[in-house]
Chain A
Amino acid sequence: MARMKFICDSERCIECNGCVTACKAEHDVPWGVNRRRVVTLNDGVPGEKSISVACMHCSDAPCMAVCPVDCFYRTDEGVVLHDKDICIGCGYCSYACPFGAPQFPTNGAFGLRGKMDKCTFCAGGPEANGSDAEYEKYGRNRLAEGKLPACAEMCSTKALLGGDGDVVADIFRNRVLTRGKGSEVWGWGTAYGKPGGSVQSPATKS
């Protein structure tokens, strides 16, 4: 199996924040922490683009490189995880990450910074798979349940794809080749293919 990866199709993301909500609900993520968020470029301008961003589980992760207590580790599936029992909440990983993935729960009036929290690719942490201890610190371990990340699986437009890098890349490549690229630079035709083209859109069905 190749490495686990996320891909977000900016032509399809409708900024519904369903992925954000699914993640928060699935893992009981605390108030103020968003493991995933939707970023919109040129918001309000025709042709705006949105993408869903979380930890990208980098192959050469800068967070791992800068962590002074070496709390990160990478699984055989390429998922970058960390051990909250080792994390000291220094925030170096937050500065190093180009995606702003590391989050820090704040607590109390003076914003006491807690241990780092981030997307786990729904793979939990070092505790026993599916244990209460793992759930409390990292949330559900869907990979061990034979499932894919909740954000990607529930994405209504299938903009966010998650799973084995080779498989999701194939799905995305097939989609791009099928829908093609025409005169429209944005809109339904670009995201789903032109009516009467190789893929019939629901709007053209009787």
Chain B
Amino acid sequence: MKTAHTLTLVAAALLLGACAEKAQTAATLKSDDKPWAGARADFVAQGWQVGDKTSWEQQLRKRSQGQNEYSRTPITP
């Protein structure tokens, strides 16, 4: 008798569970890789340690200075 009662409860729980509302989000966002984790080795720029965040930040700072003509050519007075 007790087993039948338990089974009924489990069946009811399963049935009601199937009626529950699903999440309304279209999909979960995939997590993106960190940029300092590197990419395909044949394209990765030289001069920094792949996987090291500080080294990557240093590399980008150095690379940014390539856009600064005053650091590339001497300023004549």
Contact = CB atoms under 8 A, between A and B. Distances in A.
Interface in A39-92: 69-71, 73, 75-77, 81, 83, 85-86, 88
B35 A143 contact: yes
Given A130-B39, A144-B38, A147-B45, A125 B60 contact: no
Contacts of A143: 35, 60
Nearest to B32: A126
A2 to B, nearest CB: 10
A150 interface: no
A174 B68 contact: yes
B2 interface: no
Interface residues of B, number: 36
B26 interface: yes
Most B CB atoms within 10 A — which of A69, A86, A88, A130?
A130
A70 B25 contact: yes
A129 interface: yes
Contacts, number: 117
B76 interface: yes
Interface residues of A, number: 45
Most A CB atoms within 10 A — which of B39, B40, B59, B77?
B39
Interface of B: 25-27, 29-40, 43-45, 47-48, 56-57, 59-61, 63-70, 75-77
Given A85-B30, A168-B67, A175-B68, 4 more contacts: A140-B43, A145-B40, A146-B44, A155-B67
Interface of A: 1, 69-71, 73, 75-77, 81, 83, 85-86, 88, 123, 125-130, 140-141, 143-148, 152-153, 155, 158, 161-164, 167-168, 171, 174-175, 178, 198-200
